[in-house]
Chain A
Amino acid sequence: MSEDVMPKDRSASRTTRRTFLKSTGVAGAIGVTGVSGCLQNLGGTGNATINVLGWATFENVWDKIEEKVDADLELSTVTSTEPMFTQWNSGQNTEFDVTMPNNNYMPKFIDADLVAPLQKDVVTNWDNIYDRYKELAETQAGKDGTIYGVPQRFGWDTYAYDSREVPDHEEDLSMMFNEEYSGSIGSFTQHTKAIGHAALALGYQDAFEGRRVTLSDEQLNNVKEKLIDQSDHVAAYYAAPSQIKEMFTGGDIHLGHSYRFVTAQLKMEGNDWIEMAVPKQGALTWFEAAVVSKESDNKEKAWEVVDAIIDPEVVGEWLAESGFASTNSQTAASLEGDKGQYIDVDPSRVESMIPYKEIENEDAWVSAWEEVRT
C-alpha cells in the first residue's frame, strides 16, 4: 500500500510525530554543539577536568585527591621522568595540566618554557614545606627568582646493609668498595646514581655545587677506575626496587645501594636487620616537583591539585605506608600513633642532603659507565 491511499488525517498525524522527533533531535544537537565550547573543560559531573601525567603509584591515592579538589582528575601514568618531559616537549603539554618530574629534570622543563609560575596563594601548603626543599625549589625548580615547581615527595639514596652480616661501622660510602664484602655488594645500575655516589666517596662534593653536577675529566676518570675495580666485587647491578628487596631478603647481597623508601618498606615488612646508612659524605636526594603546564586552561584548579598532593590529610597515610618521605613538615605529626615514623625525617638530616642535578657532561658519564659495565 502506498502512502497516497492512506487516510489523510493519519498520515498527517505520523508526519507530525516524525517532524516533532526530528525537530527535537536537531534542537538537541544544536544545543549540545552550542554549549560544547563551554563544557569542553567540564567532566560528566560538571566539574573541571584536570589531566595529570603522573607516577603510577599515585593511583592509590587518586580518589582522595579528586575528592579534595572537587574536580574530575584524569591520571595518565608513567614510570620514569623522561616520558614526562618528552611527551610535554613534543606538544602534549596542551593536553595535560599537571605533571611531576624529578628535580634533575626541572631545569629542562623551565628552559623549554613548558611550565607556569607557581601560584603560592593557591598552594596553601607551601608554607609547611621543609626550608631545605623550598631552597631547592628556588634553585632547581626555579629560575631568575621565579619558582615553577612544588616539591612533593622526596627520598634519598645511599647504601643499606644487613646488620646480621655487616657489623656496626663508621658509616662511610667507601664501604661500597670494601673487598671484605666481595661478592655480596649490590650497586645501582643508573650512571647518575652509581657515578654520583662514587664521586662522593672520593670526596668530590664540590662537583655537586651549582646548577649542574660537574666532574672534571680527571675526576671522572678516577671515578671510572674506582668503579672498574669495584665491579669485580659486585654481585648485582640493579635499579628496580623489587630487585633490591629480593637481593637483600634472599641473602644475595649484604651491602648495597638502596632507595630510602625500599629500606623503609623492608623494615615495615618485618626485616628489622636492614639498616640505611647515614654516610658522612651525605646522601643524594631526589624530589618530585609538581608543575602546571603553561598551556593549561585551568591553572588555578591545577595548582589546587598540586596543593592536595602535598596535603597531609590527603596523602599522609599513603606516604607512610609506601615509605616515601613528604616534603610537608606537618605530615608526620598529622598521623596517629607511630604511623608517621618513616615520614618523620630529622630536619638536620634534610639539611645535609645533596640533590641530584642535571649533569654537565652527561655523555661522558654514560660512556664511562659503559666502560665499567663492559
Chain B
Amino acid sequence: MATKGSDERVRERVRKSLSSPRSQISLTIGPATAWLLLFVLLPMLFLVAVSFTTTDQYFNIIWEPTLANYEDLLFRNGLAFWEAPFVKSLYLSYAIAGATTVTTLIVSFPVAYLLARRSGPFVKVTLFMLLVPFFSVFIVRMYAWLKIFGNNGAANNVLLNLGIVSAPLGVFDYGLIPTIVALTHAFVPYMLLTLYASLDGVDFSLVEAARDLGAGRITAFKDVVVPLISSGVITGSIFVFVPALGAYLAPQFLARGQFLMIGQMIVERVYTGYSIGYGSTMAMFIAIAVVITIAILYRISGLNEFVQQ
C-alpha cells in the first residue's frame, strides 16, 4: 500500500510539473529549439565567424578578424562591383534558380489543378506515378540527363536517326538549358505537392459563382483561384528557388564547366585552395540573398499579413 501511495505521489508530481506552462513549452518546442540551436544557429554563427578569417599556408584558420574576403569578393583587382566573378556568378545563379522556379510552376500547375479537381484512385495512382522517378538517387538522375543531352546524346541521336534533323541540335548541347531542365525535373515534386495541397483546399464553387456572375474563365481564375493559392505558390517557389540557387551537381554534370554557379564556386575555392574563410563568405551571401528574396516574396504576396492573422 505504501508503494502504491508513493507511486501516486510521483504521478501527481509529474502531472503537476507537466501542467505548468513552462514545462509544456519545454516539451513542445524544446526539442525543435535545441535542434535549431545546435544544427542551424551555431553552424551559422561559425560560418559568420570564419567568413572574417583567412587561412595560413598549412590551411589553419587565422583567428584575426579581417574584411579581406568580403573586399576580394566584391571589389577584386579594381574590377567594378558588377564585374567581380562572384557577383557575376551570383547573378547567374539567381537567373538559373529563377528560371527553374518558373518552369517548375508551369509544369506542376496543370497537373496539380487536374488532381485537385478529381478524386478517388485516379489521384492516388497519378501522384504515385509522378513521384516514382524521385525514389531514385539524385546523382543517378543526373547521369540519365547526361546521356540524354550532349551533341551525341540520346535526344540528338533520336532526331538524327528519324531524319528529323540533319545535324545535332545545339539546344541539346550541354550548358544552360540542360541544367535548367535537370533542376526542374529534380524540384518538380516540391512544387507539385505544395500546389496540390493548396488547390485541394480551394472551394471551386466560388469559380462557378464568379462565372455565373459574368466573369470570364481567365478573370475567374485570376480573381478567385490565384488569391486563394498564392501562399502555396510562394511556398512552393521558395522550396524550389532556395536549393536551386545553391545547386552543385546539376551544373557540374550538365554545364560541362561552361559557367560557374555559386555552389560550384564555393566547392572549387574550398577544394582547391582550402579557402574556408572565402567559402564561408560566399555562403553568407547566399544566406543573406535567400532571406532577402523570401522577405520580398512575402511582402509581395501579402503573406506576412496572412501569417499574422
Q: Mark A90-104, 1 if CB is under 8 A from B, else 0.
A: 000000000000000
Check if A250 is an interface residue, CB within 8 A of chain B: yes
- A373 pairs with B272, CB closer than 8 A: no
Residues in B whose Cβ lies below 8 Å from that of A294: none
Check if A363 is an interface residue, CB within 8 A of chain B: yes
CB of B265 to closest CB in A, whole Å: 7
- A235 pairs with B59, CB closer than 8 A: no
- A252 pairs with B151, CB closer than 8 A: yes
Check if B200 is an interface residue, CB within 8 A of chain A: no
State whether A251 and B269 are in contact (beta carbons under 8 Å apart), knowing that A89-B59, A238-B257, A374-B259 are contacts in the complex.
no
Check if B230 is an interface residue, CB within 8 A of chain A: no
Contact surface of A with B, Cβ cutoff 8 Å: 80, 82, 85-86, 89, 108, 111-112, 187, 189-192, 234-238, 250-252, 362-363, 366-367, 370-371, 373-374
- A251 pairs with B152, CB closer than 8 A: yes
Residues in B whose Cβ lies below 8 Å from that of A108: 57-58
- A366 pairs with B72, CB closer than 8 A: no
Bound complex: CA of A192 vs CA of B272, how far in Å? 9
- A236 pairs with B174, CB closer than 8 A: yes
Residues in B whose Cβ lies below 8 Å from that of A252: 150-152, 174
CB of A339 to closest CB in B, whole Å: 33
The count of A-to-B residue pairs whose CB atoms sit within 8 angstroms is 75
- B59 pairs with A367, CB closer than 8 A: no
CB of B257 to closest CB in A, whole Å: 3
Check if B185 is an interface residue, CB within 8 A of chain A: no
Q: Mark B238-274, 1 if CB is under 8 A from A, else 0.
A: 0000000000000000001111100001001101111
Pick the contact of B256 from A86, A235, A374 — CB < 8 Å?
Answer: A235
Pick the contact of A370 from B85, B92, B174, B271 — CB < 8 Å?
Answer: B85
CB of A86 to closest CB in B, whole Å: 6
Check if B88 is an interface residue, CB within 8 A of chain A: yes
Bound complex: CA of A108 vs CA of B60, how far in Å? 12
Bound complex: CA of A125 vs CA of B171, how far in Å? 55
Residues in A whose Cβ lies below 8 Å from that of B211: none
CB of A93 to closest CB in B, whole Å: 12
Bound complex: CA of A343 vs CA of B97, how far in Å? 48
- B257 pairs with A237, CB closer than 8 A: yes
Bound complex: CA of A190 vs CA of B271, how far in Å? 10
Residue on A nearest B72 in the bound complex, by CB: A367
**8 other A-B residue contacts (CB within 8 Å) besides A362-B273, A371-B79, A374-B259:** A85-B58, A85-B59, A89-B60, A187-B257, A190-B272, A250-B150, A366-B272, A367-B72
Contact surface of B with A, Cβ cutoff 8 Å: 57-60, 72, 76-77, 79, 85-86, 88-89, 92, 150-152, 174, 256-260, 265, 268-269, 271-275
Show 16 A/B contacts (Cβ-Cβ < 8 Å), sorted by A: A86-B274, A89-B60, A190-B272, A192-B272, A236-B257, A236-B258, A237-B256, A238-B256, A252-B150, A252-B151, A252-B152, A362-B273, A366-B275, A367-B72, A373-B85, A374-B260
Bound complex: CA of A125 vs CA of B79, how far in Å? 53
Residues in A whose Cβ lies below 8 Å from that of B271: 80, 82
Pick the contact of B152 from A111, A250, A367, A374 — CB < 8 Å?
Answer: A250
Residues in A whose Cβ lies below 8 Å from that of B72: 367
Bound complex: CA of A336 vs CA of B275, how far in Å? 47
Residue on A nearest B174 in the bound complex, by CB: A236
Residues in A whose Cβ lies below 8 Å from that of B57: 108, 111
Residue on A nearest B91 in the bound complex, by CB: A374
- B273 pairs with A366, CB closer than 8 A: yes
State whether A366 and B258 are in contact (beta carbons under 8 Å apart), knowing that A82-B274, A112-B58, A374-B89 are contacts in the complex.
no
Residue on A nearest B83 in the bound complex, by CB: A371
CB of B158 to closest CB in A, whole Å: 16
Residues in A whose Cβ lies below 8 Å from that of B59: 82, 85-86, 89
- A366 pairs with B257, CB closer than 8 A: no
Bound complex: CA of A235 vs CA of B170, how far in Å? 12
Bound complex: CA of A238 vs CA of B85, how far in Å? 19
Residues in B whose Cβ lies below 8 Å from that of A363: 273, 275
Pick the contact of B259 from A85, A190, A238, A373 — CB < 8 Å?
Answer: A373
State whether A189 and B257 are in contact (beta carbons under 8 Å apart), knowing that A112-B58, A367-B76 are contacts in the complex.
yes
Residue on A nearest B57 in the bound complex, by CB: A108
CB of A184 to closest CB in B, whole Å: 9
- A234 pairs with B58, CB closer than 8 A: no
Residues in B whose Cβ lies below 8 Å from that of A112: 58
Residue on B nearest A221 in the bound complex, by CB: B77
Which 9 interchain pairs have the tightest Cβ spacing?
A237-B257, A236-B256, A370-B85, A374-B85, A374-B88, A250-B152, A373-B260, A189-B257, A374-B89
Residues in A whose Cβ lies below 8 Å from that of B268: 189, 366, 370
Bound complex: CA of A209 vs CA of B92, how far in Å? 39
Bound complex: CA of A251 vs CA of B72, how far in Å? 39
Residues in A whose Cβ lies below 8 Å from that of B77: 367
Bound complex: CA of A366 vs CA of B88, how far in Å? 16
CB of A185 to closest CB in B, whole Å: 12
Bound complex: CA of A292 vs CA of B60, how far in Å? 22
Residues in A whose Cβ lies below 8 Å from that of B88: 374
CB of A234 to closest CB in B, whole Å: 7
Residues in A whose Cβ lies below 8 Å from that of B174: 235-236, 252
- B256 pairs with A251, CB closer than 8 A: no
Residues in A whose Cβ lies below 8 Å from that of B260: 370, 373-374
- A367 pairs with B257, CB closer than 8 A: no
Bound complex: CA of A222 vs CA of B259, how far in Å? 21
CB of A369 to closest CB in B, whole Å: 8
Pick the contact of B58 from A89, A187, A189 — CB < 8 Å?
Answer: A89
Residues in B whose Cβ lies below 8 Å from that of A86: 59, 274
Residues in A whose Cβ lies below 8 Å from that of B256: 235-238
Residues in A whose Cβ lies below 8 Å from that of B275: 363, 366
Bound complex: CA of A280 vs CA of B260, how far in Å? 32
Of A189, A250, A251, A374, most buried by chain B (CB within 10 Å of CB) is: A374
CB of B276 to closest CB in A, whole Å: 10
Bound complex: CA of A235 vs CA of B255, how far in Å? 10
CB of A4 to closest CB in B, whole Å: 28
Residue on A nearest B68 in the bound complex, by CB: A363
Residue on B nearest A191 in the bound complex, by CB: B272
- B269 pairs with A366, CB closer than 8 A: yes
Of A112, A187, A238, A252, most buried by chain B (CB within 10 Å of CB) is: A252
- B273 pairs with A373, CB closer than 8 A: no
